[in-house]
Structure 1
Amino acid sequence: MNYAHTITVPVPYEKAVARVREELASQGFGILTEIDVHATFEAKLGVESARTLGDYLILGACNPPLAEQALTAEPDMGLLLPCNVVIRRSPSANTTTVQAINPQAMVQLSNSPAIQNVADQADARLLAVLAALQGENSSK
């Protein structure tokens, strides 16, 4: 099983970040965490390291009703939350890559039917986010 769903879109990094946020919100996800890996590399490893990496943002997305279901069924699932979504673009790229964790990876670690249900719902919502992003760019 692939642990990530990945698309590329022919839009600038900043626009991709904004659109990902909008589409996540439309699917009931809020952003709990935000890690600007580029800025962290620059601060901790230097400008050259950040330049080599390019733009790289990790959003920790949470759909509260789904998180509640998962944590009620299996409190240890908190170790796998929130759902990470990555937006990245290398310095030489003409496209921006958007990735979302495949929630089915949770199912591999649990035998709970409730976790399967949550993973199915989260997966459908994250795939809808990626499809919306890809769909709006394929018609241009």
Structure 2
Amino acid sequence: MNYYISTTLQTDFQSALARVKDALKDEGFGILSEINIQEKFKEKLDINFRKYTILGACNPPLGHEALTIENKAGVMLPCNVILQETEPGVIEVASIDPFTSMQVIDNDALSQIAKEVKDRLENVIYTLEGENT
């Protein structure tokens, strides 16, 4: 069972980042955090690393519902979405599969929310795939 949902885009990194943010917004997600791993590794470790960004995405109504049902579910929030340049002009976009990750919590109501979040994240990925053709 995969723990992520992914696609590959043929574009530059900044364009991919903008497209991902727009697609997330269209599915009701806000960006709570944005971590530029390439920049952080250079700053903290003096290592040159490929372009790699982690977006912390959250759908506020579903996040609220999840935390109301299971107050420790916050350890799995927000949903991470990554972009990484695998080669020049080739950007992999991947998101956590929240349904799979939430299976460690034995709570059917939470599983239903995780399934809805997964469906929305799949819509993001499939929208990006469709734009790529």
Query: Is the TM value for this pair above 0.5?
Result: yes
Confirm or deny that 1:71 pairs with 2:71. Answer: no
Offset of residue 94 of structure 1: 3.7
Structure 1 gaps of 5+ residues are none
Offset of residue 95 of structure 1: 1.0
In 2, Cα distance between the equivalents of 1:2 and 1:106? 10
Q: Alignment partner for residue 89 of structure 1, among 85, 90, 100?
A: 85
> 2:3–2:101: 8 Å Cα contact kept in structure 1?
no
Counterpart in the other structure of 1:36:
36
Structure 2 gaps of 5+ residues are none
Counterpart in the other structure of 1:16:
16
Q: Deviations over 1:15-54 (max 9, x none)?
A: 10000000000000000011110000110111xx22xx21
> 2:98–2:117: 8 Å Cα contact kept in structure 1?
yes
RMSD between aligned alpha carbons?
Answer: 1.1
Q: Deviations over 1:88-110 (max 9, x none)?
A: 104x4441000000011233211
Offset of residue 111 of structure 1: 1.6
Amino acid at match of 2:40: T
| Aligned residues with identical type, % of pairs | 39
- Count the aligned residue pairs: 133
Amino acid at match of 1:7: T
In 2, Cα distance between the equivalents of 1:23 and 1:94? 19
